[in-house]
Structure 1
Amino acid sequence: MFKKCFLISMVLVLAMGLLAACGPKRDPNAGQAAEGKPDKLVVWENADQGEQIAHTKKLAAEFEKKTGIKVEVVPVSLLKQQEKLTLDGPAGKGADLVTWPHDNLGQAVVKGLVQPIKVDDSVTGQYEEGSIRALTYDGKLMGLPKVTESIALIYNKKLMPKPPETFEELYQFAKANTKPAEKKYGVLFEAANLYYTHFLISANGGYIFKDQGGKLDPNDIGLNNPGTVKALTEVQKWYKEGLIPQGVTADVINGLFKEGKVAAVINGPWAIRDYQSANIDLGVAPLPKVNGKDAQTLTGVKGWYLSAYSKSPKYATELMQFLTSKEALKTRFEQTGEIPPHKELLADPMITNDPVVNGFAEQAKFGVPMPSIPEMFQVWTPINDAHNFIASGKQSPEQALNQAVKLVKEQIKVQKQ
């Protein structure tokens, strides 16, 4: 899942600066031709999902049979892998391949935990361009993608037979089908979270960091420009009119949807199995157009990365390619339900003929990768705090956003010192 709420800490900022010097400094491709074949490679897989571990272990056995190299799969929580690699890497106990959401990539590079990989165009060309872009940092490819995620419109077909085509139609549907006294709502989403409001911000001309020819400029922040103010003024209207209750959480939204009290929610694929357990006839569709534009959601990509401490970068990269091959990602989808960012698989009937999965896949085509530069670390808390001030009516969108962006810039300045 890609929702993040980061706690800003001076200690952590300073620690990041120190850790940047901790990773081994090497050319990842130097001497690969002469690299000796290892007896074993170590992979850290997501400890929080048993199906993912089981699938990677199955692939590990196939790779061993094919190459003679044993692959040890170790369960480690996604958001704890960087911390563990910081300690285990220098001690020679770290993994060769690690994995986490791409928006944590910038921190890993700053800490010196990962190294670039070298693969040819025939490899990178297999994947959706956005997924490769998400795993590229400062012009260098740092890994290969295995999963892509985006929010979309998930609806109860009994309560919403056909999804609205425009955001204005969605708003009108919400007004007509919301009865707060009965805890019944037309549409709910976490509207006090940048991850969920980005599509409105983008459609109105706002942005997080300015994209300068494929490179994000952390000095140009568009989260308080007129477009963002307009977008969050719209969000504030939903709260003022009671279409979204104050302080609503993901658990409350999910509970109400499963009870049949909400016609539609804006959420991600991680919620589907829980919703299906409630025997709801689900539909999934791309978000409705905003101002005539396709809704640009923030997409998340989970990838495999090559540890900076790996003593076998050549063979570890071969293993990475094996784990992200068409065949591997197809069986991963079949076993875990995770959507592969592979061009041929996204066009495969197993996805195109599955209306639930295809709804997310179609939305992902309009998505933009969450920024992975280290400065993004400083954005989430101030901007989400501003969202909350706007939702509660304590501040106008302009006041809240100006204050938040000022804080973001101050924290980025401290981070760079």
Structure 2
Amino acid sequence: MRFIRLPIRKITVAATLALCTALSASTQAQIIVSMWAHAGPGPERDVYRAAVAAFNAAHTDVQVEFIALPEGSYSDQVNAATLARKLPCVLDFDGPSLYNYAWSGKIIALDQFPAINDLKNTMLKTLVQQGTYNGKLYSVGQFDSGLAIWGNLKMLQKAGVRIPASVEDAWTGPEFEDVLKKLKNDGVAYPLDMKFNYGIGEWITYSFTPIIQSFGGDLINRKTYQSADGVLNNPGSVKALQMVQRWVRQGYVNPSAKSDNDFTQGKSALSYVGHWTYSGYKKALGSDLVLIPMPRFGGKAVTGAGSWNWGISSNCKQPQAAAKLLAHLMSKQEVLRVAAANGAVPGLVSAIPASPDFVNGGPLRVYLDQLSGGVAVIRPQTPAYPAITTAFYESVNNIVAGANVKKELDKAVKKIDQNIEDNRGYPVRP
């Protein structure tokens, strides 16, 4: 009997010790990853919460603590956390902040994590471009954006307007102005809605930059990133914004618009904006809603690109665990989940066929065709971008109000170049 009991006792003790050791190791090994996102009440916040819940359910070694912060104060809270060295492990940030965050050391390069580095081959090219600074990948994006023109089919047909069938068939600049003239003569109060109800800020830079780029201008010299002179204030940029100023003077555009109602209530027949208005516009116009590609205002068609994206902060003590979370957020399932909520272009090439809005013949396909067809141009990849956008949208605001275009652009150039000089050209940091 002793011969039998002794091994049993030994096995029981050994098993108990092993169990205790395993439990202790499990407790010690569990890593907490903090995550911030700009998301007020609504679909996107619900999507992020669902994504975190799915990740936590699938992992015992890593758990995510998610905090949603209002978009209006989000950047201020990120800056405050930076000063206190209390940034979360994972955070999202808009395209305008990306390069300054990378340059100033708020976020770390992601190439060191194989699962993230592999995303370069699966994300939309524009998102890879947006996330890259100084040859390294600093962010990944679940979705991309773009500009096009929503049209009221009934009003366009009544005015005898040709409706482009594809990106290659886009209106030329003179043809577009003729469209505005026809609509105005047909009694449309403000033929073109340019979303001035969004206020004076980044929207102005995002939406007006493609117009000056169409004429050969840009926000800065992209070869050196050391000056805006001769680029932002060149003859093409001047001509582009004189054209917009002319639209305002001729009553084609309402610079005092207060809401989306100009288009949804028939005061405007065209709306120059992105994918995010689709749901409301479709509800208002039904089968009369048509999506029209970006016109070739100058010599070529150009659209914006880039949006909110994810990165890992330099304060994160568990970057490997944070990379696991990013890989989860960039899974096909999670990309489709967030794109369905906000109507954006799915950030993975493999997710496109599963998104009915963006397949061939889908109601939002034009946005994808522009992104993949070489029409899209991302923001300048420079830490100076916050200064660039502020100088630009302030000048555009004055131009729309009637100020001299060349003088305003010259002022913007001086502000931008001064900022670059003050920061010693934003030298690349090791």
TM-score (ref. length: structure 2): 0.78
- Is 1:319 equivalent to 2:325 in the alignment? yes
CA distance in 2, matches of 1:342, 1:49: 26
Taking a change above 3 Å as real, the CA distance of residues 333 and 98 of structure 1, as seen in their structure-2 partners, is: same
CA distance in 1, matches of 2:242, 2:85: 52
Q: Quote the offset at 1:172 in angstroms.
A: 0.6
- AA partner of residue 53 (structure 2): A
Counterpart for residue 24 of structure 2: none
CA distance in 1, matches of 2:335, 2:181: 42
- Is 1:195 equivalent to 2:195 in the alignment? no
Counterpart for residue 46 of structure 1: 38
Counterpart for residue 232 of structure 1: 241
CA distance in 2, matches of 1:208, 1:393: 21
Contact 2:336 2:355 in 1 (8 A): no
Contact 2:141 2:330 in 1 (8 A): yes
1:283 to 286, 290, 300: 290
CA distance in 2, matches of 1:400, 1:205: 18
Counterpart for residue 56 of structure 1: 48
1:393 to 402, 415, 420: 402
Counterpart for residue 114 of structure 1: 107
Contact 1:40 1:70 in 2 (8 A): yes
Q: Quote the offset at 1:319 in angstroms.
A: 0.9
> Deviation digits for residues 59-114 of structure 1, max 9, x if unmatched?
22222222212222211134644443444467675421100112111232344321
CA distance in 2, matches of 1:42, 1:287: 40
Higher Cα Rg: structure 1 or 2?
2
Contact 1:296 1:367 in 2 (8 A): yes
Taking a change above 3 Å as real, the CA distance of residues 209 and 184 of structure 1, as seen in their structure-2 partners, is: same
- Is 1:207 equivalent to 2:200 in the alignment? no
- Is 1:157 equivalent to 2:153 in the alignment? yes
Counterpart for residue 7 of structure 1: none
- Is 1:217 equivalent to 2:225 in the alignment? yes
Counterpart for residue 70 of structure 1: 63
CA distance in 1, matches of 2:355, 2:306: 23
Taking a change above 3 Å as real, the CA distance of residues 232 and 86 of structure 1, as seen in their structure-2 partners, is: closer
> Deviation digits for residues 374-403 of structure 1, max 9, x if unmatched?
2121223332333233333332x2222223
- AA partner of residue 145 (structure 1): G
CA distance in 2, matches of 1:388, 1:88: 32
- Is 1:139 equivalent to 2:135 in the alignment? yes
> Pairwise mapping of residues 318-337 of structure 1 onto structure 2 (< 5 A)?
318-337=324-343
Contact 1:44 1:97 in 2 (8 A): yes
Q: Identify, as 1 or 2, the structure richer in strand.
A: 1
- Is 1:127 equivalent to 2:132 in the alignment? no
CA distance in 2, matches of 1:209, 1:89: 28
> Deviation digits for residues 227-275 of structure 1, max 9, x if unmatched?
1112122222222322224x334x34x2111111211110112222332
Q: After alignment, is 272-281 or 225-234 more displaced? A: 272-281
CA distance in 2, matches of 1:45, 1:313: 17
Structure 1: where are the runs of 5+ without partners? Answer: 1-35
Q: Quote the offset at 1:282 in angstroms.
A: 1.7
Q: Identify, as 1 or 2, the structure richer in helix.
A: 2
CA distance in 2, matches of 1:399, 1:86: 33
Aligned-residue CA RMSD in angstroms? Answer: 2.7
Counterpart for residue 5 of structure 1: none
1:345 to 343, 351, 361: 351
Taking a change above 3 Å as real, the CA distance of residues 55 and 311 of structure 1, as seen in their structure-2 partners, is: same
Taking a change above 3 Å as real, the CA distance of residues 338 and 409 of structure 1, as seen in their structure-2 partners, is: same
Q: Secondary structure of the residue that 1:228 maps to in structure 2?
A: helix
Counterpart for residue 91 of structure 2: 98
TM-score (ref. length: structure 1): 0.80
CA distance in 1, matches of 2:83, 2:67: 18
- AA partner of residue 346 (structure 1): I
Contact 2:152 2:285 in 1 (8 A): no
Q: Secondary structure of the residue that 2:55 maps to in structure 1?
A: helix
Contact 2:191 2:253 in 1 (8 A): no
CA distance in 2, matches of 1:49, 1:218: 41
- AA partner of residue 35 (structure 2): V
- Is 1:303 equivalent to 2:309 in the alignment? yes
Contact 2:228 2:417 in 1 (8 A): no
Structure 2: where are the runs of 5+ without partners? Answer: 1-27, 165-169, 426-430
> Deviation digits for residues 308-347 of structure 1, max 9, x if unmatched?
1111101111110110112211122234423222112234
Contact 2:227 2:416 in 1 (8 A): no
Q: After alignment, is 56-65 or 263-272 more displaced? A: 56-65
Contact 1:43 1:96 in 2 (8 A): yes
Q: Secondary structure of the residue that 1:278 maps to in structure 2?
A: helix
Contact 1:146 1:301 in 2 (8 A): no
- AA partner of residue 201 (structure 1): I
Identity level (%) = 22
- AA partner of residue 113 (structure 1): K
Counterpart for residue 258 of structure 1: 264
Q: Quote the offset at 1:134 in angstroms.
A: 0.6
Taking a change above 3 Å as real, the CA distance of residues 170 and 335 of structure 1, as seen in their structure-2 partners, is: same
Q: Secondary structure of the residue that 2:40 maps to in structure 1?
A: coil
CA distance in 1, matches of 2:75, 2:393: 24
Counterpart for residue 378 of structure 1: 387
Q: Quote the offset at 1:190 in angstroms.
A: 4.9
Q: How many residues are aligned here?
A: 373
> Pairwise mapping of residues 12-51 of structure 1 onto structure 2 (< 5 A)?
37-51=29-43
CA distance in 2, matches of 1:49, 1:353: 32
